Amino acid sequence: MTHTAAPTVSVHVMLFARYAEIMGADALALELPAPATVAHVVAALRARPGGAGLPVRPLCAVNLVQVPPEHPVASGDEIAILPPMAGG
């Protein structure tokens, strides 16, 4: 039996407005155990410094489309964590 590393998912996370301020970054790379969902991405962010200020269920988009927390994420996906929208 071949010995291999546990499979992981590498995603690109984007943070905006107040969330970028509290996390101290507007973009970061995350590596998560596979399979992973948007909720796993949020949980990983909330475990980082400043992350406690993020809601448990923030608005999220994967590859420019808003999705629910259970949406799966794949390597290379762009995951955006969106503060309450305030356009207009």
Partner 1 sequence: MAALTRTPIDPAALTARVQAPSRGGVASFVGLVRDHHAGLAVARLEYSAYDAMAEAECARIVAEAEQRWTAGIALAHRVGMLEVGEAAICVAAAAAHRDAAFAACRFVVDEVKRRVPIWKREVYADGTDAWVDPTAVEGARPAAMHERQEAG
| CA–CA dist 62, 72 (Å, integer) | 9
CA atoms within 13 A of residue 74's CA, in its CB half-sphere: 1
Query: With respect to partner 1, which residue has the nearer C-beta, 8 or 27?
Result: 27
Contacts of 86 (CB under 8 A, 6+ apart): none
Q: Choose which of 57, 66, 68, 76 interacts with partner 1 (CB under 8 A).
A: 66
Segment contacting partner 1 (CB under 8 A): 1-9, 31-39, 41-49, 79-87?
79-87
Segment contacting partner 1 (CB under 8 A): 2-10, 31-39, 44-52, 64-72?
64-72
